[in-house]
Amino acid sequence: MNDPSQQDEREDEAIDVGDTAATEDSTADERIQQLHDKWLRAQAELDNFRKRARKELEDERRYRDLPLLRDLLPVVDNLQRAMEAAEQNAENESLLHGVKIVADQLHGVFKQHDCHPIQALGEPFDPNLHEAIQQQPTNEYPPGTVVYVTQIGYLLHERVVRPSQVIVSTAAKSE
C-alpha cells in the first residue's frame, strides 16, 4: 500500500522538478534573448562598417586627383602672370594669344575634373575658403569683405584644394 509520507515526498519532488524546469526555461529564454541581441548588434555594426567603407571608397575616388591638381596650380599661376605681363606690352600680342589658349585648355581640364576657382572678390571673408594676407581700410566695401584677390583658390567638388589669398576690408578710419 501507499504510505502517505512517501506520497508527500513524491509531490515535493514533482514540485521541485517543475520549478527546475521552469527555471531552466526562463534561463534558456534569457540566453536566447541575449544571443538575439548580440546578433542584432553585430548586424548593425556590419551595416555601419559597410556604409563607412562605401563612403571612404567614394571619397577616395572623388578626390584622387587632389595631389595632381595641387601640383598644377603653380603652373596656372605662372600662366596668369605671363598673360598679365604680355598685356603690358602691345608687341607681344601673338604670345599673349598663345598663352591664353594654353591657360584656357588647362582651365578646361580642371573643369572636367570638377575643380573650380573660388569666387572671392566682393564676397564676405570666409576662413574656410580664404586666407587673409592683409587688411585694408576702405569705404567702398563693408568691413570683412574681400577687396582684392592676390592668388585664386580652387575647390575640388566641395573640398578646398587651395584657399584664395585675399585682402580684406576694414572700416575706414574717421579723421
Give first-to-last CA distance, the chain, whole Å: 125
Other CB atoms within 10 A of residue 83 CB: 17
Other CB atoms within 10 A of residue 147 CB: 20
* Strands laid side by side in the 146-151 sheet: 130-138, 164-171, 146-151
What does the alpha-carbon distance between residue 41 and residue 170 come to, in Å, rounded to a whole number? 55
Is residue 125 within 8 Å of 148, Cβ to Cβ? no
So what's the pLDDT on residue 87?
84
Determine the average pLDDT of the residues in 21-31.
Answer: 79
Residue in the structure block whose three cell numbers are 538575439? 36
Model confidence pLDDT, tens digit, residues 127-165:
999 999 999 999 889 999 999 999 999 999 999 999 999
pTM of the prediction?
0.68
Model confidence pLDDT, tens digit, residues 94-115:
888 888 999 999 999 999 999 9
Which pLDDT band holds residue 174 (cuts at 50, 70, 90)?
A: low
Is residue 125 within 8 Å of 132, Cβ to Cβ? yes
What does the alpha-carbon distance between residue 171 and residue 35 come to, in Å, rounded to a whole number? 67
* Residues across the chain: 175
